[in-house]
Amino acid sequence: MQHLRACLSTYFDDIPDPRVERTKQHLLKDILVITILATIAGAQGWEDIENYGLSKQQWLEEFL
């Protein structure tokens, strides 16, 4: 898991986060990883991505 975490961090660390600081609830790289994984799993929109994140929350917490 450490290797996976390190690899994901290197890919997404340089992406600027345009969001307002006070409204951030989640790290941008966590959102990007969940979106990519959900899309690979067949997500068709934002609701599907949210449902994917919620259904896989325990597993995702291991490396995000």
Tens of pLDDT, residues 4-54: 667 766 778 889 999 999 989 999 989 999 999 999 999 999 999 999 999
**Residue 64 within any structural domain of the chain:** yes
Nearest alpha-carbon partner for 33 in 23, 61, 16, 19: 61
> In the chain, how many domains are there?
1
Question: Can you tell me the distance from the alpha carbon of 37 to that of 51, in angstroms, rounded to the nearest whole number?
Answer: 12
Q: What is the pLDDT of residue 10?
A: 77
In a domain, 56, yes or no: yes
1 found inside a domain: no
* The predicted structure's pLDDT at residue 1: 63
Contact 8, 33 (CB under 8 A): yes
35 belongs to a structural domain: yes
Domain holding 63, by residue range, is 26-64
